[in-house]
């Protein structure tokens, strides 16, 4: 029975609510969500119980990649508001006990950032070495065979200076040269600028990609993601830069930092998040996000609960007392969880509650993506012209080149496009789901009449109120330490339909049982039932022997 716990931090029992500002709430009718619109909804987030807001980028940007291409880190994009609006958001959130975490996007900038404009102007410009420029090979081809996430090649030719520049994402997102100490100091100065305004921390975009090897070797692995990742993901340089960032910036503030880190193992997770290493508070891994697809190859696979349980349990167990987990089903880059893992038709409410229960009872900091607490679903697209996302268009082209029909390609995107997460939040049954009085930048989901925040907040049996209860359990005195710091034990790892696990701490035990299928199940658990803590059905339970589970049922039991 576990009685130990890591030295506590405020973010250990925090619950983070992610806002994608463009799609959250539009205050001025221009069809684009904005910062004043977020301020209008702070009481809603407070009612839910989340005490941290992660804000996707609101910096000045040409919006080639919806704000992840930044042209000025210290200015607010005019479509989102002003610096005064941003400062008011921080102040108003703080009044409600909510901290604001901003996106730190420093692997790359926009090609319209003044730094890159200078860098591109000539080979002898003082900022030339702020980005990664390389001569072509003798035949004029790219310096190596690395791929980009958004284009077939990671290098873009510049006719003016006769060199290529590196971009792991769009050609409008050139990679910064972190080997240059001037670049690092400029980033650190910018971080201080925001933290001094009272920011609660940073979500660090693809932060494990900032260290590039000086010899830029060719990729040798081509079957598990973009070619080249084995050289630029999770290398020693990255860890060195993060420790320097901690020393020069983060150690001066009590903040949450979460690194977005594709291609990571649990060992990487411990390297990044072990408090003794002074890097980041926690990371987002993606291992559980690749079970049902090969994203880079745009191939769908069946969801395998046994594999999912093995992955989640590995991260729970391997980071126990050695680091910190983040917990998430959705974000702005993932489709809607209830459409992906649940049943978004007949059992939408029940399966959305099940997914919340299964995740939120684990150790780590949970992240709720806007609309997840409403059980929002994927939108149905019929043509590639309806998509906004760069990655969707890139994958569509790749699938057609591979011989798929347009219909099959759209079918894949209807499961996995990032645009599903970016469809505006459904606030009410009014026009455009109450998101805007104008024309929304991306069309709303047609099901907003049935699924919206006004309906959910007024219905005590809604997904919203179930999430409230999950948050109250995590932050409450009765079970908080068990959920936040308790030991995890997976039960019946080979069960292909039911996910059951134990959490135990200081003499108290919780049993979580979640039926991931739309069929009724019966299971036996050799524990004495003390109390039903939370259930997504109204069933009475008196024994854990021959426990009957209805479709997508999830129950939390206190046991001994």
Exposed, middle or buried, 276 (CB in 10 Å: 0-12/13-18/19+)?
Answer: exposed
Percent of the chain with pLDDT over 70: 98
Q: What is the mean pLDDT of residues 430-438?
A: 98
Cβ of 221: how many Cβ atoms within 10 Å?
A: 12
Of 442, 443, 381, the C-alpha closest to 417 is: 381
Residue with tokens 């980071």: 319
Q: What is the mean pLDDT of residues 6-29?
A: 96
Residues 100 and 245 placed together within one structural domain of the fold: yes
Residues 356 and 422 placed together within one structural domain of the fold: yes
Cα–Cα distance measured from residue 78 to residue 54, given in angstroms and rounded to the nearest whole number: 20
Cα–Cα distance measured from residue 451 to residue 233, given in angstroms and rounded to the nearest whole number: 40
Last residue of a domain, one of 175, 207, 227: 175
Say whether pLDDT at 251 is over 80: yes
* pLDDT mean across residues, the chain: 97
CATH number of the domain within which 136 lies: 3.90.400.10
Residues 123 and 220 placed together within one structural domain of the fold: no
Residue 146: its pLDDT value, please? 98
Say whether pLDDT at 2 is over 50: no
Total domains in the chain come to 3
Residue 391: its pLDDT value, please? 87
Residues 159 and 234 placed together within one structural domain of the fold: no
Q: Which long-range contacts (CB under 8 A, 24 or more apart) does 35-42 make?
A: 35/76, 35/80, 35/81, 35/82, 35/85, 35/86, 35/88, 35/89, 36/81, 36/85, 38/89, 39/85, 39/88, 39/89, 39/92, 42/92, 42/93, 42/96, 42/98
Of 90, 92, 107, the C-alpha closest to 194 is: 90
The domain containing residue 493 runs over which residues? 485-559
Residues with catalytic annotation?
205, 260
Convert the pLDDT of each residue in 91-125 to its tens digit.
999 999 999 999 999 999 999 999 999 999 999 99
Joined together, the tokens standing for residue 372 give 């997840």
- How far from chain centre, in Å, is Cα 443? 22
> How does residue 3 score in pLDDT terms, banded at 50, 70 and 90?
very low
Last residue of a domain, one of 175, 202, 225: 175
Q: How many residues does the chain have?
A: 560
Q: Are strands 201-204 and 155-158 parallel, antiparallel or unpaired?
A: unpaired
Residue 367: its pLDDT value, please? 99
In three-state secondary structure terms, 523 is: strand
Residue 443: its pLDDT value, please? 96
Joined together, the tokens standing for residue 540 give 């009475």
- For residue 329, being part of any structural domain is answered with yes
- For residue 243, being part of any structural domain is answered with yes
3-state secondary structure 424-467: CCCCCCCHHHHCCCCCCCCCCCHHHHCCCHHHHHCCCCCHHHHH
Residues 15 and 143 placed together within one structural domain of the fold: no
Residues 104 and 114 placed together within one structural domain of the fold: no
Q: What is the mean pLDDT of residues 271-286?
A: 98
Residue with tokens 């020069």: 248
Say whether pLDDT at 58 is over 90: yes
Say whether pLDDT at 244 is over 80: yes
Convert the pLDDT of each residue in 369-392 to its tens digit.
999 999 999 999 999 999 998 889
Last residue of a domain, one of 434, 466, 498: 466
Residue 6: its pLDDT value, please? 77
CATH number of the domain within which 524 lies: 2.60.40.1180
Residues 329 and 385 placed together within one structural domain of the fold: yes
- For residue 186, being part of any structural domain is answered with yes
Residue 509: its pLDDT value, please? 99
- For residue 139, being part of any structural domain is answered with yes
> How does residue 5 score in pLDDT terms, banded at 50, 70 and 90?
low
List beta partners, residue 100. 53
Whether 421 contacts 330, CB under 8 Å? yes
CATH number of the domain within which 302 lies: 3.20.20.80
- For residue 479, being part of any structural domain is answered with no
Residue 223: its pLDDT value, please? 74
Convert the pLDDT of each residue in 480-528 to its tens digit.
999 999 999 999 999 999 999 999 999 999 999 999 999 999 999 999 9
- For residue 503, being part of any structural domain is answered with yes
Of 166, 173, 210, the C-alpha closest to 188 is: 210
Joined together, the tokens standing for residue 203 give 């979500």
Residues 163 and 215 placed together within one structural domain of the fold: no
- For residue 478, being part of any structural domain is answered with no
* Sign of the C-alpha dihedral computed for residues 101, 106, 107 and 110 taken in this order: positive
Q: What is the mean pLDDT of residues 468-480?
A: 98
The one-character DSSP state at 179 is T
Residues 163 and 299 placed together within one structural domain of the fold: no
Residues 266 and 170 placed together within one structural domain of the fold: no
Residues 206 and 305 placed together within one structural domain of the fold: yes
Residues 155 and 76 placed together within one structural domain of the fold: no
Joined together, the tokens standing for residue 80 give 């989102």
Say whether pLDDT at 1 is over 80: no
- For residue 349, being part of any structural domain is answered with yes
């Amino acid at each position: 029975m576990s009685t130990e716990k890591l030295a506590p931090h405020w973010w250990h029992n925090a619950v983070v609510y992610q806002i994608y500002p463009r799609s959250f709430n539009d205050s001025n009718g221009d069809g684009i969500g904005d910062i004043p619109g977020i301020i209008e909804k702070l009481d809603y987030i407070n009612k839910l119980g989340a005490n941290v807001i992660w804000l996707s980028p609101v910096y000045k940007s040409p919006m080639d990649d919806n704000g992840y291409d930044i042209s000025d880190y210290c200015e607010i994009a005019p479509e989102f508001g002003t610096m005064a609006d941003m400062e008011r958001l921080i102040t108003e959130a703080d009044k409600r006990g909510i901290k604001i975490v901003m996106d730190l996007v420093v692997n790359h900038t926009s090609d319209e950032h003044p730094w890159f404009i200078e860098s591109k102007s000539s080979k002898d410009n003082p900022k030339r070495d702020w980005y990664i420029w390389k001569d072509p090979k003798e035949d004029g081809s790219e310096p190596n065979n690395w791929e980009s996430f958004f284009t077939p090649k990671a290098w873009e030719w510049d006719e003016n200076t006769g060199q290529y520049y590196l971009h792991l994402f769009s050609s409008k997102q050139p990679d910064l040269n972190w080997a240059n100490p001037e670049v690092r100091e400029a980033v650190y100065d910018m971080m201080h600028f925001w933290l001094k305004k009272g920011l609660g921390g940073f979500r660090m975009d693809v932060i494990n990609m900032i260290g590039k090897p000086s010899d830029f070797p060719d990729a040798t692995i081509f079957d598990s993601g973009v070619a080249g990742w084995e050289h630029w993901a999770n290398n020693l340089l990255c860890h060195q830069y993060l420790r320097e960032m901690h020393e020069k910036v983060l150690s001066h503030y009590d903040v949450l930092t979460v690194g977005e880190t594709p291609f990571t193992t649990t060992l990487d997770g411990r390297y990044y998040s072990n408090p003794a290493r002074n890097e980041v508070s926690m990371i987002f891994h993606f291992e559980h996000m690749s079970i049902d697809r090969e994203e880079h190859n745009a191939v769908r696979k069946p969801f395998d609960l046994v594999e999912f349980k093995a992955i989640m349990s590995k991260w729970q167990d391997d980071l126990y007392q050695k680091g910190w987990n983040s917990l998430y089903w959705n974000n702005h880059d993932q489709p809607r969880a209830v459409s992906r893992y649940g049943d978004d038709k007949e059992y939408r409410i029940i399966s959305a509650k099940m997914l919340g229960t299964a995740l939120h009872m684990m150790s780590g900091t949970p992240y709720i993506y806007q609309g997840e607490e409403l059980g929002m679903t994927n939108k149905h697209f019929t043509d590639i012209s309806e998509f906004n996302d760069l990655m969707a268009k890139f994958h569509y082209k790749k699938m057609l080149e591979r011989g798929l029909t347009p219909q099959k390609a759209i079918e894949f995107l209807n499961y996995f496009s990032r645009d599903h997460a970016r469809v505006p939040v459904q606030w009410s049954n009014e026009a455009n789901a109450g998101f805007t009085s104008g024309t929304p930048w991306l069309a709303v989901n047609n099901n907003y009449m049935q699924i919206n925040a006004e309906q959910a907040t007024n219905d005590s049996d809604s997904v919203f109120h179930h999430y409230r209860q999950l948050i109250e359990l995590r932050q409450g005195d009765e079970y908080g330490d068990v959920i936040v710091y308790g030991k995890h034990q997976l039960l019946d790892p080979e069960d292909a339909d039911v996910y059951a696990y134990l959490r135990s701490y200081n003499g108290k035990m919780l049993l979580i049982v979640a039926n991931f299928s739309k069929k009724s199940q019966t299971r036996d658990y050799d524990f004495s039932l003390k109390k039903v803590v939370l259930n997504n059905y109204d069933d009475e339970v008196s024994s854990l022997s021959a426990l009957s589970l209805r479709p997508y049922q999830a129950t939390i039991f206190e046991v001994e």
